[in-house]
Amino acid sequence: QVQLVESGGGSVQAGGSLRLSCAASGYTNSRFCTGWFRQAPGKKREEVAILCPRGGSTYYADSVKGRFTASQVGGKNMLSLQMVSLKPEDTAMYYCASDPSYQALIEGTPTYWGQGTQVTVSS
């Protein structure tokens, strides 16, 4: 029943910004935790941000802290990831994932995943 669909990816020059969106259906976002992950070819999957509104828990990777902001649009089952001051090393496929458990997201084992959206940052 749970579906996640990412959008908002694209190509941008270094220093630019993008906003990714994750549209969720089949559950109420306020009751689920959502994580953003990214993976570049030949590299390990990396946790980017985790938002768990009900528990008030948040997490940001050191590499994006201060530049990326995860938030929830209340009443719309929509999550967003605002990315500013983008760097070439931010280039990756970005995935939205969700699970009722914050711990599952921390461990990188959420139950539900989106299909991903590509972000490319040129120098």
Strands 117-122 and 112-113, by their bridges, are unpaired
For residues 98 and 2, the answer to whether their CB atoms sit within 8 Å is yes
pLDDT digits (tens, 9 = 90+) for 37-49: 999 999 999 999 9
pLDDT digits (tens, 9 = 90+) for 93-123: 999 999 988 899 999 999 999 999 999 999 9
For residues 99 and 113, what is the distance between their CA atoms, to the nearest angstrom?
9
